[in-house]
Amino acid sequence: MSQRMDLAKVQPGIFDAMYKLKGYLAITSIPPSLQELVFIRASQLNQCGFCLDMHAVRALEMGVPARSLVLVNTWHEAHAHFTAAERAALAFTDEVTHISEGGVSDAAYAAVVNAFGESGAAELLMAIITINNWNRLMVAVRRDF
């Protein structure tokens, strides 16, 4: 598949807005390595190869174990490889990413608030929303990588 358009040339303001969200994420309490796992999981669900590749490389550079990256697609079956907080974040990621399929369950919401507090849950929600926005942009224009 070939790239449909170069967003940076057509509407550079789109990236300015998205980078502001990215800047916000850099000052949250959510560890960067966990953000990368969330970004990878959402990118898998959204089938965004561009973002999946970028965030897998970043995660490896941060020292996230390769085994975790391989198993994140089946995180719900690989309990020994993810902490309770990571599992809560990944469950929340799954439900927010697929929000049209039934919303976010009380169980997923409670688990993420229990693991991160309300403020951390809000920050995590912004991380999930941000990667979902990036995924949609890149998939819609067929961004090459």
Give the domain ranges of the chain: 31-141
Domain 31-141 annotated CATH 1.20.1290.10:
yes
140 alpha carbon, distance to own chain's centre: 17
Nearest CA among 71, 70, 72, 127 for reference residue 96: 127
Give 46's DSSP letter: T
pLDDT tens-place string over residues 7-52:
878 888 888 888 998 899 999 999 999 999 999 999 999 999 999 9
Contacts of 1 (CB under 8 A, 6+ apart): 142
The Cα–Cα gap between 60 and 78 comes to 19
The Cα–Cα gap between 132 and 42 comes to 7
pLDDT tens-place string over residues 52-107:
999 999 999 999 999 999 999 999 999 899 999 999 999 999 999 999 999 999 99
The Cα–Cα gap between 53 and 123 comes to 23
Stated pTM of the model: 0.92
